[in-house]
Amino acid sequence: QVRLVESGGDSVQAGRSLRLSCVASGFTESDYCMAWFRQVPGREREEIAAIYTGGAATFYADSVKGRFTILRSLVKNIMYLSINSLKPEDTGMYYCAADQSPCSIAAVRGDYWGQGTQVTVSS
């Protein structure tokens, strides 16, 4: 059974940094797509960053390029999202998602989802 568990969300002031983590377990294959989605009230869930565990390929939405960095651990089953210079508009629920191969990091389907971790940025 695949399980995704996020952590690292917090309430912070604008300008600070955060690192979100997602631990994946239960995958029977070694290579798959992992992504971060963000949802704010009244808007659809948006894919903001993704990575393929089988290589170095990454994807970023235009809205987060430059301040967000997606990484994976050498163990490959842990994914991170580093967010610098947080802004109030970064506030939202951040979800980890994963797709089994074949998959596309630019369009993660969301075969599996975590429960989400809340990020709140105050001005």
pLDDT for 28-45, tens place per residue? 877 889 999 999 988 999
How far is the C-alpha of 98 from the C-alpha of 117, rounded, in Å? 16
> How confident is residue 27, by pLDDT bands cut at 50, 70 and 90?
confident
Only one residue has tokens 């940025």, namely: 121
Express each pLDDT in 60-116 by its tens digit: 999 999 999 999 887 768 999 999 999 999 999 999 999 998 999 999 999 999 999
- Please calculate the CA angle 75-85-18 and round it to the nearest 5 degrees: 35
